A and B are shown apart, each in its own frame.
Chain A
Amino acid sequence: MADRLYLPPVGTEILQGDIFDQMPSVRVESRPLRVARHWKQSGPRDIWEVHPEDGSGPRGGFKWLPDQGGEQGLLVHAYLGRAMVLSHDCEIENDPRTRTLAMIRPINHLDEASQRELFSGGRQDRWFAVFPLVGQIDEPRIERSFVDFRRLTTVHPDVLAASIRVASLSEELRSAVAERFRLYLFRRVDSQVTDVR
């Protein structure tokens, strides 16, 4: 169908707006940070040490600085779920280090009144932080859900390459997501808001 919003992924080239399954969404909830360092393997189990950032630290000290390589194992809050690639296509083509993902959340994470308002297409001045995704029954099947721009996570490109890509977006939907994300970040609380009502 020509008017499908979500399209089957083609090839291996990842595009802005692509939707992946079982992707991490991580968030630091509190301080002190807790750093995990691998201690030893005991049979089938790996045993790790945990060091709070305000403690004495691991042997050799913490490696927080970029030129020290950073700490590899920070204990943070995380979910696994669907996510949308927000990295620009140009960045995907040229930057071998980082991709930015936004969490896609099930629609029942909004109360019913908010669902109706969000999916009515009206009062969009209230909804800069989220982008509604209508359902699609045709393949690739997408449940009604929403992108949460407040829940951004960065991953190495290899993480995407090893994950399940569910769908790419139509050109119109990609442009719509990009515009909404731009407005989310840089909106002014003035007449510009009315442009997208």
Chain B
Amino acid sequence: MATAPPVFEEQRSDFQFGPYVVWSEFVPLWSIEVEEVGVRAMYGRLAAAHDAEPTVPDLGGGVPGDLYQL
């Protein structure tokens, strides 16, 4: 079932996005270890689903982009 989308910070009235993304956030090591259990399992599920899909048949000729070539 569809659910309400997550609320992003930028959707708050007080949110300000600076001109550059700052990469200085401190992330405790323990939180990385804990989160990796769930996220890495999710990575594995998604990757397995992706790799199990049938490959796109070779239709011969053409390259990606031809459909929208102007």
User: What residues of chain A have their CB less than 8 Å away from a CB belonging to chain B?
Assistant: 5, 66-67, 79-82, 88, 90-91, 94-95, 97-98, 105-111, 114, 117-122, 124-127, 129-130, 132, 134-135, 137, 143-144, 171-173, 175-180, 182, 189, 193, 195-196
Q: How far is the CA of A96 from the CA of B6 in the complex (A)?
A: 37
Instruction: Return the contact of B39 from the options A88, A114, A119, A130 (Cβ within 8 A).
Output: A119
User: What residues of chain B have their CB less than 8 Å away from a CB belonging to chain A?
Assistant: 1-3, 5-10, 17, 19-23, 25, 27, 29, 32, 35-47, 49-51, 63-65, 70
Q: How far is the CA of A95 from the CA of B64 in the complex (A)?
A: 7
Known: A108-B25, A176-B42, A196-B46. 4 other contacts (CB 8 A): A66-B70, A179-B46, A179-B47, A195-B49
- Contact, CB under 8 Å: B49 / A108: no
A94-B63 CB under 8 A given contacts A126-B3, A179-B50: yes
- Contact, CB under 8 Å: A122 / B38: yes
- Contact, CB under 8 Å: A176 / B43: yes
Interchain Cβ contacts under 8 Å between A and B, 9 examples: A79-B21, A82-B21, A95-B64, A114-B8, A171-B47, A172-B47, A175-B46, A178-B50, A196-B46
Instruction: Return the contact of A79 from the options B5, B19, B29 (Cβ within 8 A).
Output: B19
Chain B residues within 8 Å of A144, by CB: 25, 27, 32, 35
Q: How far is the CA of A80 from the CA of B29 in the complex (A)?
A: 27
A-B pairs, top 5 by smallest CB distance, nearest first, are: A121-B38, A81-B21, A179-B50, A175-B47, A94-B63
- Closest CB of chain A to B63's CB: distance in Å? 4
Instruction: Return the contact of A176 from the options B1, B20, B50 (Cβ within 8 A).
Output: B50
- Contact, CB under 8 Å: B65 / A175: no
Chain A residues within 8 Å of B70, by CB: 66-67
- Closest CB of chain A to B2's CB: distance in Å? 5
Instruction: Return the contact of A120 from the options B27, B35, B49, B64 (Cβ within 8 A).
Output: B35
Instruction: Return the contact of B3 from the options A98, A125, A179, A195 (Cβ within 8 A).
Output: A125
